[in-house]
Amino acid sequence: MAAIPARLPSHAASRPTPPTPPAPPPPIHSPRPLGAVDPELARSFLERFLSETKAPVDPAGRWRAIAEQIRDTGTYTHTSAELTWGARVAWRNSARCIGRLYWNSLAVRDRRHVSRPDEVAAQCAGHLRETWRGGRIRPTLTVFAPDTPTGPRVRIWNEQLIRYAGYRRADGTPVGDGRNLGITELAHELGWRGEGTEFDPLPLIIEGRDGRLRPYALPPDAIREIALTHPEHPGFADLGLRWHAVPAISNMRLEIGGVSYSAAPFNGWYMGTEIGARNLVDADRYDALPAIAELFALDTSSERTLWRDRALIELNRAVLHSFDTAGATITDHHTESTRFLRHVEREAEAGRACPADWSWIVPPVSGALTPVYHRYYDDHDEHTLTPAYVLDEAATRRAAGEVGT
């Protein structure tokens, strides 16, 4: 395979070059415009893409085209193959994700031609419909128009494509998901009105190139919800608990070879503990354990009765049972822990390090009973790995409904 010409600005290559390499285009003048692609990142990405995929591409010719685009426009356009590989490797590099065994099966919906907010909203609904597949959820990413040297083309403010609204009663107590009080208030300011129930799906809040925020309610057929029942206690259904089936993260940037895609929602499938130990359990969200303890007549007179632990297990049993009954993909923390160690082994066999944040990989229920608890992992800062999904502090604030971020 021919080597890629030297980086911009040109200097001696670190490996042999063809006898008559094509001359690189003139170097980009420094300083580059704000947001312009760093040629070093573009070249490094291309080298790794070609090395790992063995794609039938002329390295010199492809680099020349990329470098010329960067010189002329400050950015460049990925091929479909580059985009797909970059998105999959970004998942592989996600140190906080336990479900990376299937990184190479990520379906990529290329919607880079889409930047109008209404079209973005429609495509997000399409994403949710396509990934569902009758309950056989497939990991999927939809990538929209890339950022340019002048800024993002489009941004989705929501933390996930589906989240539930949070309200405050007159006495200050919350209704719905307390995590989403801020973005619910913002949605109201933008003209959206929910029904005020515990599980009102929020609208998508999309920011276009003009900086305007627009709310778009998701069509009902794009939202698949699972009503929770218990395998042994019929009264559990009366609690009215439910959760949506597809966890589609929507406020992380996808960075590939120096190009940033601020709108690139992606999903895998749920691990039961995400719902049964966090979403429905956190005290500032649904705080469901007291009601479950009452249903099961648990002794709540003292923490030493471990009533919270017992209620937590029953809730997690209900989550897994309900998804299974509905035919919706979900995994449990024991199975996923074993799968993750298989992923670690495969990465080692491929000669790659596997970054992992122990505090995120170990599940929030019965952590010491899972094999991921009893070992160390590669000590890598996920912010140094590329391609990557990046959560900016400003994106976190936007997901909380904080305007001016």
pLDDT band at 378 (very low <50, low <70, confident <90, very high): confident
> Which residues does 370 contact at the CB level (< 8 Å), separation at least 6?
333, 334, 337, 362, 363
Are 281 and 312 in contact by the 8 Å Cβ rule? The answer is yes
pLDDT, mean of residues 217-221? 98
pLDDT, mean of residues 126-140? 98
The answer, yes or no, to whether residue 28 has pLDDT greater than 50, is no
Tokens of 46: 């291309």
- Does residue 124 have an active-site annotation? no
Burial class for 347, CB neighbours closer than 10 Å (0-12, 13-18, 19+): middle
pLDDT score for 383: 52
- Does residue 85 have an active-site annotation? no
404 Ramachandran zone, left/alpha/beta (phi>0; psi -120 to 50):
left
- Does residue 274 have an active-site annotation? yes
Annotated ligand binding at 124? The verdict is no
Query: Which listed residue (159, 274, 314, 336) is catalytic?
Result: 274
Choose among 375, 281, 365: nearest CA to 331.
365
pLDDT score for 381: 56
Could you give the CA distance from residue 58 to residue 79 in angstroms, rounded to a whole number? 13
Query: Which listed residue (255, 269, 317, 336) is catalytic?
Result: 269
Tokens of 234: 């019929």
The more confidently predicted of residues 5 and 105 is 105
pLDDT score for 103: 97
Question: 55-75 pLDDT, tens per residue?
Answer: 999 999 999 999 999 999 999
Query: Which listed residue (43, 100, 179, 285) is catalytic?
Result: 100
Which residues partner with 248 through β-bridges? 267
pLDDT score for 35: 56
167 Ramachandran zone, left/alpha/beta (phi>0; psi -120 to 50):
beta
User: What are the distances in angstroms from CA 137 to CA 59, 218, 248, 285, 349?
Assistant: 36, 19, 11, 26, 28
pLDDT band at 404 (very low <50, low <70, confident <90, very high): confident
Query: Model pTM?
Result: 0.89
Question: 146-164 pLDDT, tens per residue?
Answer: 999 988 999 999 999 999 9
Question: 168-203 pLDDT, tens per residue?
Answer: 988 888 899 999 999 999 999 999 999 999 999 999
DSSP string, 165-206: -EEE-TTS-EEE-GGGHHHHHHHHHTT------TT-BPPEEE
Query: Which listed residue (7, 85, 97, 253) is catalytic?
Result: 97
